[in-house]
Structure 1
Amino acid sequence: MTVVEGVGSGAPAPPDGPLRRNRDFLLLWSGASMSFLATRVTAVAYPLIVLWHTGSPLAMSVVSTASLLPLLLVQLPAGALVDRWDRRRLMLVCEAGRAVAVGSVALALAAGRMTVAHLAVVAFAESSLAVFYRLAERGAVRNLVHPLHLPAALAQNEARGRAAGLLGQPGGVLLQSAARWLPFGFGVVGYLASGLSLLLIRGRFQQERAARADGTRMRREVAEGMRWLWRQRFLRAALGYVAGTNVLFQMLALALVLRIKEAGLPSETLAVVVGIGGVGGLCGALAGGRVQRRMRQRTLLVAGAVVWAVLIGAMGLTTSPVALGALYAGTGFVGAVFNVAAAVYQVRVTPDALQGRVAATAGLVASGTNALGAFTGGLLLAAWGALPTVRAIAVAMAVLALMAFLAPDLKGEIADDDADTPVGPPAGARSGA
C-alpha cells in the first residue's frame, strides 16, 4: 500500500481493494495478535503466581506496580524515539527482548527458583518493551492502510486486543495451573512468531524523516508533542478523565482476584470470570467502528462512566462466577467501544511526524497513573478486603461521570465530519521551536 502523506491531506483516491486483501496489514495484525496474546497470558500469570505462592496482596501489588511503571516512566522518551527510529526494526528488537525476558522467568520457575524481585524486574522490562512496540505499531498502521480503511483497521486492532484478553487471561490461568512456567514459555513462542511476521512485511512503516541524534533536540521533540496535545482542549480534558477511570480499573482487577480467593473459590474460577468478561470486550470492539460514527465522544465518556459505576456496584453483591463474568463483560463492552472511538480520533487528527510523541504523551496522561492504582489497590485490599474496595470503586466512578458531564472542555471535540483535517501543522511540519 502506498504511503499516505496524511490522513487529512485532501480527498484520498479510492483504495485498491478491501482491507481484508491488504497483505501487509494482515501480516502486521496477525503478528501483533500473537504478541498481544503472549502479553495477556504472562500478565495474568504474574499476580496469580505471587499471590498463590506468598499469600500476600501487597507482594502481588508490587509486581503489578512494576509492570505498570513503564506507562509512567518510559512513555515520553519512547514516543520521541519511535518518531526517530525505524519502526519495523524497533518492533523486532522489542519482540526479541521480550522473548528473552519472559524466557528467563520460565527457566527460573521450572528450576524452582522463583523470587518476587525477579518477577518484578522482568515485568518492568516486558512492559517497557511493550510501550515501544505499541507506539510503533499504531504509527505503522496509518502508513500501511488507506485513509478510508483507518477506522476499520483500528476497530480490528481493538478486537484483536479484546480477543487476546478473552483467550489469554483464562489461558494464562489454566497454563499456570498446569505448570507454573507454562505461561512464560507460551510468551516466548508468541513474541518469536510476532517477530517473524514483521520480517515478511514489504510496506514501509513510516514517511521519510530527517535523522536526529542530538540529545537536546530529543527533549525539544518530546516537548513539541506535549505542546501540540495541550492545545487540543477536548483531548486534554478527555485524557484526564480516562486517567481517573484507568486507576479505578487497576484497583478493580486486583480486587476481583482477591474477591474470588476470599470466597474460597479455586483459582480456575478466575478463568471463567475473565473468559465471560472477554466476550463483552470483543463484542464492543466489533461494534466500536459503527458506534464511533454515530455517537459523540463526550456522550461515550459520560454514559460509559455511568454504566461502569452501576456494573461495578453490582459486582459487590455477588460471588457467582457467571454473574461476575457477565458484569465484567458489560464493563469490557463499554471500554472497547470507547477505545476504538478514541484511537480513530487521535490518529486522524495527529500529523504522522508527531504520532509517536502524541500517542506517548496521551498514554502517559491516561495510563501513567495505573501504577498508582495498582499500589493503592493493594493497600486498600490489605486494609479493607475485596468487598468494601469494590464498593468504593463504584462510588468513585460515579463521581467521575458527574465531573465529565460538567467539564466545559469536553464540549469542544472536533465533529467526525471534520476529523480528516489534522489539527495543527501538516504531517512532517514542526510546531514551535
Structure 2
Amino acid sequence: MTLVEGAEAATAAVPDRPLRRNRDFLLLWSGASLSFLAARVTAVAYPLIVLWHTGSPLAMSVVSTAALLPLLLVQLPAGALVDRWDRRRLMLVCEAGRLTAVGSVALALAAGRMTVAHLAAAAFVEASLAVFYRLAERGAVRNLVHPAHLSAALAQNEARGRAAGLLGQPGGVLLQSAARWLPFGFGVLGYLVSALSLLLIRKDFQQERPDRTAGNRMADEVSEGMRWLWRQRFLRAALGYVAGTNVLFQMLALALILRIKEAGLPSATLAVVVGIGGVGGLCGALAGGRIQRRTRQRTLLVGGAVAWTVLIGAMGFTSEPVLLGALYAGTGFVGAVFNVAAAVYQVRTTPDALQGRVAATAGLIGSGTNALGSFAGGVLLAVWGAETTVRAIAAAMAVLALFAVVAPDLKGEITDDPTDTDTGTGTGTGTGG
C-alpha cells in the first residue's frame, strides 16, 4: 500500500469499534506496559546494587554506561533488522532474552555470587533488546489500530511510558530495599507477561513486504532509511530542532540539581521537583492526542518553544520547590505533547517497510545530543552557576523558537489535507500532522 492509498483508506473507512474495544491493541499495550515498567525498575536497580556491593562509584559508572551504550551502538542496525524480520517473533525473542538476562541477575544475587562484569553484561543485553522491542512495537501499532485511532493509540503509549517512569524509579528502590534480587525478579515477571500477551494477538504486525534477507548489505539498508528521512524536508528540519532542545534539557536537568543545592535545600527536594514534573508529563501525554489532532506540527513547534522559553526563564528567578516543580511540570507537559505529535507524524508518513530504520535514525539523532548537553551544562554551571545558566538556557530556547518561525522547511509538513504535500519528498501526500 502506498502513502496515497493509505491516506485515501484512512479518509474513507470508519472504525467499526472504539479503541478501548480493540482486543489486539489492548493486549499489546498492556503487555508493553509491564515490559516498560520492568525495564524502569531494573534500570534504577543496577547502579544501586553495584554501589551497595562494591562501594565503588567507578564500578557503578561502568554498569550505567553499559546500559546506555545500546542507544548509540545498536539503534541503526536494530532499525534495519526490525524492517527485515517478523516484528512479532522479534518482540518475543526480545522478551525471552530480557527475561533470561534479568533472571540470571536475580539468581546470582539470591546466591550471593554477583560480579560487576555480570551486571554490566546483563544491563547491556537488556538495554539492547529494549531498543529492538521499542522499534518493533512502534511499527506494529499502526497495523493493529484503525488509522483514525492512531494518534489516540500513540498518545496512550506516551502516557504508558511516563507512568512507567513515575512508578518504576521508586518501585525499583523499594524492591531492592526489601531484597536485592526483587527488582530483577519483578523484571522476569514483567517480561513473561509481555511475551504471553504477544502470543494472544491475532493480527499481523506488518504489511506484506518482499524478502530482503538475501543480497542486501546491512549498511545499504540503513542508508536507505537515512536517505528517505533526508528527503523529508519537514522531518529533517524538525529533527534538527528536537536535537537542539534535547541539548538544552540535558543542561536544565543538571542546572536544577545545582539550583537546589545553591539554595541550601535538602537533596530530597529534587525528588519533589522531579515528581511534580513527572505528573505534568503524564498529563501532557494524556492530552497529546487531542492537541495533535487539532494543531499543525509547526504551530506546536513554535508555541512549544515559546512556552518553554517562558517556563525555563521563570525557573531562573525562583528556588521555591513547589514553584520549581510546577514550572518543570509545564515543560514536561509540552514535551509529552511534542512526543505524541512527533510519533504520530513519523508513523503516518513513513512507509511500513521503513518504519524501523526511520525511527532508529530519528532516535539516534535525538538521543545522540544528550552527551553534548551534559558536557556543555557542566562547563556553564562551573563558570556561571545555576541561576545564570538557567537564564541562558531560556535565551537559547528563544532562539530555537525564532528558528521554528523562520525556517522554510518547517512550513512543508504533510497534513490530513489531501492537497497538502511536502515538496521536498517527491512521494506525494501522507496522513500525518
Report the TM-score range of the alignment, normalised by the length of the smaller protein: 0.7 to 0.9
1:84 deviates by 0.8
DSSP-derived class of the 1:249 partner: helix
1:239 deviates by 0.5
Cα 1:270/1:107, change in 2 over 3 Å: farther
1:79·1:222 contact (CA, 8 Å) conserved in 2?
A: yes
Note the aligned Cα RMSD (angstroms). Answer: 3.6
1:63 deviates by 5.2
Partner of 1:302: 302
1:250 deviates by 3.4
Q: Identify the structure with bigger relative contact order (alpha carbons < 8 Å, sequence gap 6+).
A: 1
CA–CA distance in structure 1, aligned partners of residues 62 and 390 of structure 2: 20
- How many equivalent pairs are there? 422
Cα 1:362/1:322, change in 2 over 3 Å: same
1:82 deviates by 0.5
1:404 deviates by 2.9
DSSP-derived class of the 1:416 partner: coil
2:69·2:124 contact (CA, 8 Å) conserved in 1?
A: yes
Partner of 1:430: none
* Paired residues for 1:11-160 under 5 Å: 11-46=11-46, 64-106=64-106, 120-160=120-160
1:78 deviates by 0.9
Partner of 1:355: 355
CA–CA distance in structure 2, aligned partners of residues 383 and 112 of structure 1: 45
CA–CA distance in structure 1, aligned partners of residues 140 and 50 of structure 2: 36
DSSP-derived class of the 1:7 partner: helix
- Structure 1 residue 7 corresponds to structure 2 residue 41: no
1:417 deviates by 2.4
Partner of 2:288: 288
DSSP-derived class of the 2:209 partner: coil
* Paired residues for 1:213-232 under 5 Å: 213-214=213-214, 216-232=216-232
CA–CA distance in structure 2, aligned partners of residues 175 and 316 of structure 1: 36
Q: Which amino acid aligns with 2:137?
A: E
2:412·2:421 contact (CA, 8 Å) conserved in 1?
A: no
CA–CA distance in structure 1, aligned partners of residues 315 and 302 of structure 2: 20
* Paired residues for 1:240-279 under 5 Å: 240-253=240-253, 256=256, 263=264, 265=266, 269-279=269-279
Partner of 1:184: 184
Q: Which amino acid aligns with 2:6?
A: V
1:80·1:222 contact (CA, 8 Å) conserved in 2?
A: yes
Moved more, 65-74 or 232-241: 65-74
CA–CA distance in structure 1, aligned partners of residues 50 and 265 of structure 2: 18
Q: Which amino acid aligns with 2:365?
A: V
1:257 deviates by 5.5
1:46 deviates by 4.8
Task: Structure 2 unaligned segments of length 5 or more: list them.
Answer: none
1:176 deviates by 4.5
Moved more, 397-406 or 217-226: 397-406
1:305·1:398 contact (CA, 8 Å) conserved in 2?
A: yes
CA–CA distance in structure 1, aligned partners of residues 78 and 235 of structure 2: 20
Cα 1:134/1:391, change in 2 over 3 Å: same
Percent of aligned positions with the same letter in both sequences? Answer: 82
* Residue-by-residue CA offset, 1:341-392 (whole Å, 9 max, x unaligned): 1111111111111111111121122223334445655677788876666555
DSSP-derived class of the 2:82 partner: helix
Cα 1:79/1:282, change in 2 over 3 Å: same
Partner of 1:431: none
Cα 1:345/1:249, change in 2 over 3 Å: same
1:67·1:120 contact (CA, 8 Å) conserved in 2?
A: yes
2:246·2:370 contact (CA, 8 Å) conserved in 1?
A: yes
1:237 deviates by 0.6
TM-score with structure 2 length normalisation? 0.83
CA–CA distance in structure 2, aligned partners of residues 51 and 388 of structure 1: 34
CA–CA distance in structure 1, aligned partners of residues 221 and 261 of structure 2: 47
1:67·1:124 contact (CA, 8 Å) conserved in 2?
A: yes
